[in-house]
């Protein structure tokens, strides 16, 4: 499970590192994540535990081998709400990573920020700590919609945080928006998008709403408190988003992600490009090249593990070449550029084209993808219906 | 023989028949207080949940009377639903007396009457038992007046009890001992015994429940079933004390079982007479009928891999249920399955539930159909129960459908509603008479197909449960029959075809299309759903194409969650039937069967 050794298949890529920060002040209605309420002493314990986990990883020879050849080049603080942490705490984690993982020059270091969780001085502190990319969870530029989503901030809060980020020198900012939330209209979605473009961020993510089992939203829909989202409307909104962003210079490069060349998320690309990454912190996921693992999601269980000198992976799944090949297809096709089937086939010693024809050939007439001799990519329609294609590969 | 009493309990639903039976078992020590409620007479879960008894069974209650005499009281349980009225009547034949349980807070109700008449017809001694006297709303005096007026029984013979609290149970036992006559019969005459139930035991073969009228039977005897002359050698005789208790022999007047290595369940038919092979009785008991299925439906496994399993499961059910019939069937849309015949819709539902629950099968059912008689222009006649077998209409000269004669007793205030219902169902009124100032008996001839579906439920609901209903088969009568086909994405789905009266064709087609539209998930392309008679489209709905099915985000590289969702989606797809290009879920087939009221 901990084996990062490069024998199968050969990895020739730098490592990405993801640090999960599981705290939130309140819970958004659409969220089904395991998050913990924010409290000062819990955060201190958490910092100590993650530092121990980093220490434990430093003793893994296969990881060290991979790192000594290729190093790490991205670090991503995600959540939860990492911006609830103090800059000093982020810095502590960052330094602990730097001590153990040799970073390439100019690594991409991202922090997810929720509006109204960091003021100007905190944002400056984060910048000083070494963060160079910010992902701001605005979700909507409409206060009524934000309230309906259970987001604990207003549009004004978001604008202020964006401003603070710019002032602090962040020149690589991504904005997150949600499309297809109940109550949203094509018009209101357009307005939010316009407002986002007007701010001039370097990167935009638009996530179509998923009603997750166990979320408050799910319960509200089941009890009839609110109407289930209209899927056709969501599709319209999505298509609007793609064309407006393209016009504004944000080329779509993944199902939910838009940015001009040079501003794509290096870290997230690792997920889509079948590259290994290390996940640290409770509920974090990692991929070693030979296996996937998930750390214990429960903060207490996570801490118990590391305090007893055990890596806290609760579940893991060993790859077979076939499983990894299928995952590479599923993840890779999310990218607009698609997949080089020849390379992929060589990597996993399969006839990738034949496999594709056999498993999804019948869908070709539906216009979900284009398949040439050595290349496969989803069409715009195919991206909206990508699960139809992907279910063929699980 | 003088110390034997054979009796049954009859009641309107929920008046306390099962509770009283429990108490009788308990007080006579047949079941201990601890095992109470787990054992009981009817053992199938489904019966439990639905509050019905399908397979009648018997149990011996040993009882020492106040007179110091030891009695053997045979309690014979009876099925409680109209689908099984023949079984009820056979079970009653096995008794000399009946406890008629009446809820003290509800009084005489429709099924009280229907059951009362049936018991009267069999010449049973009827003991009214007024139950639930512990309830604040209990009105024993009023119920006594009804017993006198409605039933013409002596109210003084009624026993007032609370089955729940165990009050008056001994009085019930005393009443049985004193009022129910002991069985008559000649122990020296040739064996004459009635089969009132049978069930299958995997180790012993068929266990036959009998009531002996004359003669005796013991292990080693050669017995004969009179309807088909099949002979068997008796291996064991005994009685039921919940569990089987072997006895050296059974004599005239007794109730018990025989085991005779019987492997073919069709040899043992409820109502048949058993006698000795070498010393047969002169004639069989009267009233035997071969119960024939009246409603037919095809069962298909959702996964065609389960076909073999379905075959095995049906075989097993058949062992306990001689009235279930099935034969191989094939549908272009659904593959291999079975055409099954049932006594009624409840019987169908029970079989379906048992297949799904006990055998873990997922099934698709086709719309239930009655048997039609089709006459060809060349003079030939055929019987069909399957829309798929309906011939080219050009060749058909006439069609006939089965009619029943229904007797309905209703309080006067619901008369209008009941008549309206019968006329809606294409009924023809034959008779109407006042039983007294407040109750009316109606006789209607009705097409069986109209009665099968939700007639009984409707009747109950419009009369607040007061109308009772009984029917007998009449004949096949000429009808205006059409076959309605359903096309999904322009392909005819044979399993959705139905035979209906021409007047009903449009509304049935429209309703089916609407329901299918609701149940079939959107597909990659537009899917028209049409109802048609021959080449003529009579109803149409359209399912617009699916536009969005996408997972937006993988939090922190959590691909596992995404894969799980995809797997779930794929599993869901497996539970659908692929018809042409369209995936149709099981729920869509079921939705088409539903009646209006269930909407
Ligand atoms: N209060 C009261 N309830 C009773 C009595 N006997 C039966 N019940 C209840 O009436 C309901 C129906 O009884 P059950 O024996 O299942 O009726 P069945 O449908 O005739 O078999 C159950 O909830 C019983 O608990 C009684 O003597 N007193
Ligand atoms: S901020 Fe994210 S993790 Fe926290 S509650 Fe909202 S959606 Fe869930």
Whether residue A30 lies within 8 A of chain B, CB to CB, comes out as: no
B residues 254-273 lying closer than 8 A (beta carbon) to A: none
Residue B544: closest C-alpha in chain A? A232
Residues of A with Cβ-Cβ distance to B562 under 8 angstroms: 330
Q: End-to-end CA distance of chain A, in Å?
A: 21
Cβ–Cβ contacts within 10 Å for residue B282, how many? 8
Tokens of B556: 């922190």
Residue A150 CA, closest ligand 2 atom number: 6
Output the residue whose Cα is nearest ligand 2's atom 8: A31
CB contact under 8 A, A331 and B559: yes
Q: For the residues of B263-285, what is the DSSP string, one character each?
A: --GGG--TT-EEEESSS--SSPP
- Beta-carbon contacts of residue B22 (< 8 Å; ≥ 6 apart): B36, B37, B40, B163
User: CA A339: distance to chain centroid?
Assistant: 20
CB contact under 8 A, A207 and B548: no
If one compares B456 and B31, the residue with the highest pLDDT of the two is B456
A108-117: buried (b, 16+ CB within 10 Å) or exposed (e) per residue? bbbbbbbbbb
List helix spans (H) across B280-434: 307-320, 345-358, 415-424
Ligand 1 binding pocket mutation candidate from B14, B50, B133, B168 (most atoms within 8 A of CB) = B14
Q: Which of B4-18, B127-141, B196-210 has the lowest mean pLDDT?
A: B196-210
Please, which residues bridge with residue B402 across strands? Answer: B476
B465 in Cβ contact with B457 (< 8 Å)? no
Output the CA A347–ligand 2 centroid distance in Å: 37
Facing residue for B558 by CB, picked from A232, A285, A327: A285
State phi, psi for A178 to the nearest 5 degrees. -110, 135
Residue A21: closest C-alpha in chain B? B556
A179 in Cβ contact with A205 (< 8 Å)? no
Reduced to 3 DSSP states, what percent helix, strand and coil does chain A have, rounded to the nearest 5? 45, 20, 35
Tokens of B570: 């794929």
Q: Which pairing describes strands B70-76 and B4-11: parallel, antiparallel, or unpaired?
A: parallel
Facing residue for B570 by CB, picked from A208, A209, A394: A394
- Please tell me whether residue A168 adopts helix, strand or coil conformation: coil
Whether residue B524 lies within 8 A of chain A, CB to CB, comes out as: yes
Q: Which pairing describes strands A23-24 and A36-37: parallel, antiparallel, or unpaired?
A: parallel
**Ligand 1: does its nearest atom lie under 6 Å from the Cβ of B50?**
no
**Ligand 2: does its nearest atom lie under 6 Å from the Cβ of A256?**
no
Please, which residues bridge with residue B238 across strands? Answer: B246, B257
Residue B578, classified by CB atoms within 10 Å of its CB into exposed (0-12), middle (13-18) or buried (19+), is exposed
- Beta-carbon contacts of residue A180 (< 8 Å; ≥ 6 apart): A208, A209, A229, A230, A231, A233, A234, A237, A238
Cβ–Cβ contacts within 10 Å for residue A340, how many? 15
A residues 260-299 lying closer than 8 A (beta carbon) to B: 270-271, 277, 279, 283-287, 292, 294
Query: What pLDDT was estimated at residue B53?
Result: 40
B144 in Cβ contact with B155 (< 8 Å)? yes
State phi, psi for B462 to the nearest 5 degrees. -75, -15
A7 in Cβ contact with A65 (< 8 Å)? no
Tokens of B503: 């007047």
Please, which residues bridge with residue B127 across strands? Answer: B99
Whether residue B568 lies within 8 A of chain A, CB to CB, comes out as: no
| Ligand at shortest distance from the CA of A81 | 2
Tokens of A158: 């978001």
State phi, psi for B498 to the nearest 5 degrees. -145, 150
Cβ–Cβ contacts within 10 Å for residue B441, how many? 14
**Ligand 2: does its nearest atom lie under 6 Å from the Cβ of A79?**
yes
Query: What pLDDT was estimated at residue B81?
Result: 61
Distance, CA of A313 to CA of A332 (rounded, Å):
25
Tokens of B274: 């058993």
Distance, CA of B411 to CA of B11 (rounded, Å):
18
CB contact under 8 A, B549 and A386: yes
- Beta-carbon contacts of residue A266 (< 8 Å; ≥ 6 apart): A16, A73, A74, A108
B457-478: pLDDT as tens digits: 889 889 887 787 777 789 999 9
- Please tell me whether residue A226 adopts helix, strand or coil conformation: coil
Distance, CA of A355 to CA of A376 (rounded, Å):
12
State phi, psi for B285 to the nearest 5 degrees. -65, 150
A299 in Cβ contact with A46 (< 8 Å)? yes
Q: How confident is the model at residue B409 (pLDDT cuts 50, 70, 90)?
A: confident
Distance, CA of A83 to CA of A44 (rounded, Å):
15
Q: How confident is the model at residue B200 (pLDDT cuts 50, 70, 90)?
A: confident
Please, which residues bridge with residue A108 across strands? Answer: A74
Residues of A with Cβ-Cβ distance to B544 under 8 angstroms: 232
CB pairs A-B closer than 8 Å: 99
What are the CA-CA distances from residue A158 to residues A146, A176, B492 (Å)? 11, 11, 57
**Chain B interface, best mutation among A237, A285, A291, A330, by max B CB count within 10 A:** A285
Q: How confident is the model at residue B599 (pLDDT cuts 50, 70, 90)?
A: very low
Mean pLDDT value across residues B361-378: 92
Closest CA to B493 of B506, B466, B512: B512
Query: What pLDDT was estimated at residue B55?
Result: 43
Whether residue A388 lies within 8 A of chain B, CB to CB, comes out as: yes
| Ligand at shortest distance from the CA of A24 | 2
- Beta-carbon contacts of residue B156 (< 8 Å; ≥ 6 apart): none
**Ligand 2: does its nearest atom lie under 6 Å from the Cβ of A81?**
yes
Facing residue for A388 by CB, picked from B524, B553, B559: B524
CB contact under 8 A, B546 and A287: no
Q: End-to-end CA distance of chain B, in Å?
A: 56
B76 in Cβ contact with B95 (< 8 Å)? yes
Output the residue whose Cα is nearest ligand 2's atom 4: A80
B141-157: pLDDT as tens digits: 999 999 998 889 999 99
**Ligand 1: does its nearest atom lie under 6 Å from the Cβ of B19?**
yes
State phi, psi for A40 to the nearest 5 degrees. -55, -45
**Chain B interface, best mutation among A33, A273, A387, A393, by max B CB count within 10 A:** A387
Mean pLDDT value across residues B400-420: 92
Residues in chain A with pLDDT < 50? 6-8
B520 in Cβ contact with B488 (< 8 Å)? yes
B502-556: pLDDT as tens digits: 998 999 999 999 999 999 999 999 999 999 999 999 999 999 999 999 987 777 7
| Ligand at shortest distance from the CA of B99 | 1
Query: What pLDDT was estimated at residue B578?
Result: 83
Facing residue for A385 by CB, picked from B550, B558, B565: B550
Question: Rounded to 5 degrees, what angle do the CA atoms A39, A41, A42 make?
Answer: 65
Distance, CA of B122 to CA of B90 (rounded, Å):
10
Query: What pLDDT was estimated at residue B227?
Result: 86
pTM above 0.90, yes or no: no
Q: What ipTM score was computed for the predicted complex, to two decimals?
A: 0.90
B87 in Cβ contact with B76 (< 8 Å)? no
HSE-up (13 A, CA, CB side) for residue B24:
33
Output the CA B233–ligand 1 centroid distance in Å: 43
Mean pLDDT value across residues B211-236: 94
CB contact under 8 A, B560 and A207: no
Q: For the residues of B313-343, what is the DSSP string, one character each?
A: HHHHHHHH-TT-EEEEEEETTTEEEEEEEES
Tokens of A51: 């530092």
- Please tell me whether residue A311 adopts helix, strand or coil conformation: coil
Residue that is written with structure tokens 């893991």 in the block: A316
A311 in Cβ contact with A282 (< 8 Å)? no
Cβ–Cβ contacts within 10 Å for residue B364, how many? 23
- Please tell me whether residue A234 adopts helix, strand or coil conformation: helix
**Ligand 1: does its nearest atom lie under 6 Å from the Cβ of B131?**
yes
B35-92: pLDDT as tens digits: 444 434 444 554 444 443 434 478 899 999 999 999 999 999 876 665 667 777 888 8
Closest CA to A241 of A279, A191, A166: A191
* pLDDT, mean over chain B: 87
Residue B162 CA, closest ligand 1 atom number: 27
Nearest-neighbour CA in chain A from B570: distance (Å): 6
A121-147: pLDDT as tens digits: 999 999 999 999 999 999 999 999 999
Whether residue B573 lies within 8 A of chain A, CB to CB, comes out as: yes
Assess whether pLDDT exceeds 80 at residue B16.
Answer: yes
Question: Rounded to 5 degrees, what angle do the CA atoms B449, B453, B456 make?
Answer: 110
Tokens of B88: 């009820």
Residues of A with Cβ-Cβ distance to B567 under 8 angstroms: 391, 394
Output the CA A150–ligand 2 centroid distance in Å: 10
| Ligand at shortest distance from the CA of A149 | 2
CB contact under 8 A, A388 and B549: yes
Residues of A with Cβ-Cβ distance to B553 under 8 angstroms: 205, 207, 256
């Amino acid at each position: 499970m901990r084996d990062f050794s490069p024998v199968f298949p050969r990895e020739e890529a730098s490592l990405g590192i993801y640090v999960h920060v599981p705290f939130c002040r309140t819970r958004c209605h659409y969220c089904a994540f395991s998050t913990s309420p924010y409290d000062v002493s819990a955060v201190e314990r958490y910092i100590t535990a993650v530092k121990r986990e980093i220490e434990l990883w430093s003793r893994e020879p296969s990881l060290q081998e991979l790192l000594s050849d290729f190093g790490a080049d991205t670090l991503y603080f995600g959540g939860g709400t990492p911006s609830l942490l103090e800059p000093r705490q982020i810095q502590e984690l960052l330094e602990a990573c730097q001590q153990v993982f040799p970073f390439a020059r100019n690594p991409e270091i991202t922090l997810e920020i929720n509006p109204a969780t960091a003021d100007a001085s905190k944002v400056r502190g984060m910048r000083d700590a070494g963060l160079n990319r910010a992902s701001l969870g605005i979700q909507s530029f409409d206060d009524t919609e934000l309230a309906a989503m259970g987001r604990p901030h207003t549009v004004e809060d978001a604008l202020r945080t964006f401003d603070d980020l710019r002032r602090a020198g962040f020149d690589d900012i991504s904005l997150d928006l949600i499309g297809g939330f109940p109550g949203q209209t094509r018009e209101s979605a357009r307005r939010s998008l316009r407002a986002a473009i007007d701010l001039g961020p370097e990167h935009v993510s638009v996530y179509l709403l998923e009603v997750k089992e166990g979320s408050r939203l799910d319960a509200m829909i089941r009890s009839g408190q609110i109407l289930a989202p209209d899927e056709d409307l969501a599709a319209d909104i999505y298509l609007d988003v793609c064309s407006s962003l393209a016009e504004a210079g944000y080329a779509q490069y993944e199902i939910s992600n838009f940015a001009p060349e040079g501003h794509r998320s290096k870290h997230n690309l690792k997920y889509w490009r079948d590259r290994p990454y290390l996940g640290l912190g409770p509920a974090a996921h990692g991929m070693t090249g030979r296996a996937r693992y998930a750390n214990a999601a429960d903060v207490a269980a996570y801490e118990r593990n590391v305090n007893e000198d055990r890596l806290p992976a609760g579940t893991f799944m060993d790859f077979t070449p076939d499983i990894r090949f299928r995952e590479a297809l599923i993840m890779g096709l999310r990218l607009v550029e698609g997949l080089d089937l020849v390379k992929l086939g060589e990597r996993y010693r399969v006839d990738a084209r034949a496999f594709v024809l056999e498993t999804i050939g019948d869908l070709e007439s539906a216009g979900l993808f284009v398949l040439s001799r050595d290349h496969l990519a989803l069409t715009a329609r195919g991206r909206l219906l990508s699960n139809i294609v992907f279910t063929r590969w699980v | 023989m003088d110390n034997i009493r054979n009796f049954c309990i009859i009641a309107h639903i929920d008046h306390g028949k099962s509770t009283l039976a429990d108490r009788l078992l308990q007080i006579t020590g047949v079941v201990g207080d601890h095992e109470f409620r787990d054992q009981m007479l009817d053992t199938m879960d489904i019966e439990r949940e639905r509050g019905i008894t399908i397979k009648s069974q018997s149990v011996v209650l040993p009882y020492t009377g106040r007179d110091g005499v030891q009695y053997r009281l045979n309690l014979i349980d009876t099925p409680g639903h109209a689908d099984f009225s023949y079984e009820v009547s056979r079970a009653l034949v096995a008794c000399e007396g009946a406890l008629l349980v009446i809820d003290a807070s509800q009084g005489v109700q429709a099924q009280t009457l229907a059951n009362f008449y049936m018991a009267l017809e069999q010449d049973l001694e009827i003991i009214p038992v007024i139950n639930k006297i512990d309830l604040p709303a209990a009105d024993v005096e009023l119920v006594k007046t009804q017993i006198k007026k409605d039933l013409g029984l002596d109210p003084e013979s009624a026993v007032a009890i609370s089955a729940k609290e165990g009050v008056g149970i001994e009085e019930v036992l005393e009443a049985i001992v004193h009022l129910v006559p002991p069985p008559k019969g000649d122990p020296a005459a040739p064996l004459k015994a009635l089969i009132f139930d049978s069930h299958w035991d995997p180790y012993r073969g068929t266990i036959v429940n009998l009531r002996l009228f004359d003669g005796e039977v013991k292990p080693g005897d050669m017995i004969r079933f009179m309807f088909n002359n099949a002979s068997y050698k008796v291996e064991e005789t005994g009685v039921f004390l919940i569990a089987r208790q072997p006895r050296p022999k059974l004599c005239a007047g007794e109730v018990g079982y025989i085991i005779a290595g019987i492997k073919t369940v069709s040899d043992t038919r409820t109502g048949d007479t058993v006698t000795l092979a070498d010393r047969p009785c002169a004639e069989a008991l009267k009233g035997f009928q071969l119960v024939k299925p009246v409603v037919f439906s095809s069962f298909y496994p959702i996964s065609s891999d389960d076909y073999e399993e379905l075959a095995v499961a049906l075989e097993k059910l058949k062992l306990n249920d001689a009235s279930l019939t099935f034969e191989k069937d094939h549908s272009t849309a659904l593959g291999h399955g079975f055409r099954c015949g049932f006594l009624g819709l409840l019987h169908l539902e029970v079989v379906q539930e048992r297949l799904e629950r006990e055998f873990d099968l997922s099934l698709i059912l086709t719309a239930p159909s009655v048997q039609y008689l089709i006459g060809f222009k060349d003079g030939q006649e055929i019987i069909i129960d399957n829309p798929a077998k309906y011939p080219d209409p050009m060749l058909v000269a006439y069609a006939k459908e089965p009619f029943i004669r229904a007797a309905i007793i209703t309080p006067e205030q619901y008369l209008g509603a009941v008549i309206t219902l019968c006329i809606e169902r294409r009924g023809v009124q034959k008779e109407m008479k006042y039983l007294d100032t407040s109750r009316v008996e109606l006789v209607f001839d009705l097409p069986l197909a109209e009665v099968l579906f939700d007639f009984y439920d409707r009747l109950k609901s419009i009369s607040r449960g007061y109308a009772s209903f009984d029917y007998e088969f009449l004949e096949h009568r000429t009808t205006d029959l059409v076959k309605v086909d359903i096309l999904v994405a322009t392909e005819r789905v044979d399993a959705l075809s139905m035979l209906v009266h021409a007047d009903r064709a449009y509304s049935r087609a429209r309703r089916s299309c609407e329901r299918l539209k609701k149940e079939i998930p959107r597909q990659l392309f537009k899917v028209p759903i049409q109802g048609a008679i021959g080449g003529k489209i009579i109803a149409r709905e359209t399912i617009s194409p699916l536009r969005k099915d996408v997972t937006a985000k993988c939090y922190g590289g959590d691909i596992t969650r995404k894969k799980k969702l995809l797997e779930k989606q794929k599993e869901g797809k497996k539970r659908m039937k692929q018809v042409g290009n369209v995936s149709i879920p099981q729920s869509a087939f079921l939705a088409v069967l539903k009646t209006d009221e269930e909407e």
